[in-house]
Chain A
Amino acid sequence: MMLMLAMMFTLSTTFAFTGEEAVSKQAVSNFKSQFRTATDANWTVGTNYYKVEFSEDSQKLFAYYNFQGEFVAVCRYISSLSLPFNLQNTLKKNYSNVWVTDLFEMATKEGTSYYVTLENADTKIVLSSTDGTTWSVFDRTKKA
């Protein structure tokens, strides 16, 4: 499930906008309880999840709930400087000839994971980390 969610986030899967009244009451209730200081909440519905985009503590966050209203994950885009130090250093050491085009953090009940998209002229590679220390290849595509 996390794999699917991460893929959705990286590939910017289309969600349809919907008003809060069309979202499962349980999802809205859970969201309001978990993110008490959230503002500017906008709900959209996808194939398997509700997504709510909102602001909290001056940050833009994205939370996901399944159709039963259960919390699945919360994500945010971050700068590479906000990565745990070990991850920053590994990126610098092993991927110095590519540039970062996308980087986000995803928190689920199990913990935090990071996904970074790196590109050069020929290749696009997505790395993931679930332990805050090491990267592994999540996806790799050759550019046309």
Chain B
Amino acid sequence: MKKLILSIGLFLTVFSLSAFATGEKDVNPQVLRSFNQQFSGAQHVSWMKAEEFYRVNFTQNNFRVEAFYDGNGELLGTVRDILFNELPLSVTRAISKKYQDAAAYEIYEYSVGNETFYRMKVDLPGKTLQVRSTISGGLMVEKRIKR
């Protein structure tokens, strides 16, 4: 799990610091081929490149998705925007049990390699928590956000 978090953190850091938008014609053909194979039917596609990595934002089946590739066309991970009811039941039950009726929003599903985890914000009186959950509902507060 630590490796997973570090990987996602690395991608997001690299892209926040040094990424630039790139047109599809300038995307490595291997990367483009992998993307088109894995995400056929993707719409509203936009590419960014940072060092040897690519990030592609797109929508598929009404979900907003970000996918990360290395220069060899290997899919490194995806981040998907989802709704509370689209979380695994174990996660929604864990959230409801721990935080009662608190609102959970900005919910993302992260998939890196063979691992999946979820991240979301939870509003409590006077504060907002950024919470991470395993697919089985193991929760961890990542940080408190002052309101």
With A76-B89, A111-B90 as given contacts, are A85 and B135 in contact (CB-CB < 8 Å)?
no
Report the minimum CB–CB distance from A109 to chain B (whole Å).
9
A59, B38: Cα distance in complex, Å: 30
Q: Identify A85's interface contact among B78, B88, B91, B137, CB under 8 A.
A: B78
- Chain B 56-89: CB-based contact to A (< 8 A → 1; otherwise 0): 0000010101000000000000101000111011
Chain B interface, DSSP helix/strand/loop, else mixed = mixed
Query: Is B115 part of the contact surface with A, judged by Cβ < 8 Å?
Result: yes
A residues within 8 A CB of B61? 81
Q: Report, as a range, how many residues of chain B touch the other chain.
A: 20 to 34
B residues within 8 A CB of A34? 93
> In the complex, are the beta carbons of A112 and B90 less than 8 A apart?
yes
Report the minimum CB–CB distance from A18 to chain B (whole Å).
25
- From 11 to 67 in chain B, residues with beta carbon under 8 angstroms from any chain A beta carbon are 38, 61, 63, 65
Number of A-B residue pairs at CB separation under 8 A: 57
Q: Identify B116's interface contact among A105, A107, A132, CB under 8 A.
A: A132
Report the minimum CB–CB distance from A111 to chain B (whole Å).
3
B residues within 8 A CB of A59? 85
Total A residues in contact with B, Cβ cutoff 8 Å: 23
> In the complex, are the beta carbons of B114 and A133 less than 8 A apart?
yes
Q: Identify A131's interface contact among B89, B93, B109, B114, CB under 8 A.
A: B114
Q: Tell me the A residues contacting B by CB distance below 8 Å.
A: 34, 57-59, 74, 76, 81-82, 84-86, 89, 93, 105-107, 110-112, 131-134
Q: Tell me the B residues contacting A by CB distance below 8 Å.
A: 38, 61, 63, 65, 78, 80, 84-86, 88-91, 93, 109, 111, 114-116, 135-137
